[in-house]
Amino acid sequence: MSAPPVGAAIAALGVTQIVGWGTTHYLPAILADSIAEGIGASPTLVLGSFSWGLLIAGASARASGRLMDRYRARRVMTIASLLVALGLLVMSFAHGGALLFVGWTLIGLAMRSVLYDGAFAALTVLAGHRARRAISLLTLFGGLASTVFWPIGGWLDATFGWRATLQVYALLNLVPCALLHARFAGGTRRRGDAGMAHAADASAGGPLDAQRALRALRLATLAFTLYAFVQSAMAAHLVRLLADFGFGAAVAVSAASLMGVAQVLARIAEMALQRRLSPFAVAVPSVALLPLAFAVALLLPTSPIAASLFVLLYGCGNGLMTIVRGALPLAIFGS
């Protein structure tokens, strides 16, 4: 199958990222309490199964990368979508903790391939020297996942129940996600591309030498791991944190959905300044905004303004970090 146009691939993968993030990473924030009540378990058990899925995702990251190299993104991402759908379907039949852990195990095995890591790899091959811009464009879609799926998930849960909600989520990972991955998540590097070194942008100064690259890789790995720890916890608990500000459930969901808007705005700003800023320069504010957001939440008097400012600052930092995760390895290693 021939390589799809880059623009079409970005649009198609953008849809799959909205669905993928919304039906996996952002699922517990809305459904954890309903699932816990439905199976007669504590929310801690439900969130523990989610944490198990994240652990599986981390443990399978290297294998996912190797599969991408060997079998190409198209095949791996399509199979990963099928695994996510199966995991969600399994969880929808849970009457205890066992099937929750089975479901999140299946989803965890697929998450690295079906979410940003897999999509970034596919776009890097397709877009060549335009990879950084393609990644930035893709994240504009993915940033809206919480904005789209938290209200939808809340409505589905209230109207049809959590089991039906999980089954709808499973269907969405089949249609459109698996179909779009099968068509648009593949290709070969285009002739004439100078390679990934240019994807880092001229302002990055090209890839680092071997010794500096190894040091940068270790530091970046540590930073990404620590940030992922916080981001995963926030994805599961943000709605509850906002409820602690004194909002009702519906208002908390709406306020939390501002995170998606903030992510998109930050990514648009990054795109506008992309020619002037290297990925290294973008990494600094992406990390600095996180403690600033928590400082606002902890120090300012409880109010709707403080809650909104907290979400906006956190969303901006998270939005920039997503781009850094995709662009920084290109700046470090080049081709």
Domain boundaries defined on the chain: 6-184, 198-333
Structure confidence at residue 204 as a pLDDT band (50, 70, 90): very low
Distance CA 287, CA 295 (A): 14
Averaged over 145-161, what is the pLDDT? 95
Structure confidence at residue 207 as a pLDDT band (50, 70, 90): low
CA distances from 289 to 28, 59, 185, 234 (A): 24, 28, 32, 14
What is the chain's mean pLDDT, rounded? 88
The confidence score (pLDDT) of residue 295 equals 92
CA proximity to 53, closest of 16, 93, 91, 19 = 91
pTM of the model: 0.86
The confidence score (pLDDT) of residue 195 equals 43
* Residue 188 confidence (pLDDT) above 60: no
Distance CA 137, CA 120 (A): 11
The confidence score (pLDDT) of residue 206 equals 56
Distance CA 308, CA 296 (A): 10
* Residue 16 confidence (pLDDT) above 90: yes
CA distances from 327 to 35, 133, 155, 174 (A): 37, 9, 36, 29
* Residue 13 confidence (pLDDT) above 80: yes
Class of domain 6-184: mainly alpha
Distance CA 129, CA 303 (A): 46
As given in the structure block, the two tokens for residue 298 are: 């902890």
The confidence score (pLDDT) of residue 128 equals 82
The confidence score (pLDDT) of residue 279 equals 85
Sequence-distant (6+) residues with CB within 8 A of 31 are 153, 157, 162, 165, 166
Q: Could you report the per-residue pLDDT of 55-65, keeping only the tens digit for each?
A: 999 999 889 98
* Residue 231 confidence (pLDDT) above 80: yes
Nearest 10 degrees: Cα torsion 297, 301, 302, 308? -50
Q: Could you report the per-residue pLDDT of 85-117, keeping only the tens digit for each?
A: 999 999 999 999 999 999 999 999 999 999 998
* Residue 167 confidence (pLDDT) above 50: yes
- Tokens 């942008």 identify what position? 201
Poorest-pLDDT segment among 95-109, 162-176, 248-262: 248-262
Choose between 8 and 195: higher pLDDT.
8
The confidence score (pLDDT) of residue 158 equals 96
CB neighbour class for 248 (10 Å; exposed up to 12, middle 13-18, buried from 19)? exposed
The confidence score (pLDDT) of residue 192 equals 46
- 18 within 8 A of 142, measured Cβ to Cβ: yes
* Residue 323 confidence (pLDDT) above 50: yes
As given in the structure block, the two tokens for residue 8 are: 């079409």
- H-type alpha helices, the chain: 6-23, 27-39, 43-59, 61-92, 97-114, 116-127, 131-142, 145-160, 162-172, 179-184, 196-199, 210-244, 249-256, 258-272, 279-299, 304-333
The confidence score (pLDDT) of residue 211 equals 80
Poorest-pLDDT segment among 29-43, 130-144, 233-247, 288-302: 233-247
Averaged over 291-311, what is the pLDDT? 86
* Residue 212 confidence (pLDDT) above 90: no
Choose between 34 and 124: higher pLDDT.
34
Separation of CA 263 from chain center = 11
Residue 164 CB coordination number (10 Å): 13
The confidence score (pLDDT) of residue 202 equals 42
The confidence score (pLDDT) of residue 199 equals 41
Distance CA 280, CA 328 (A): 7
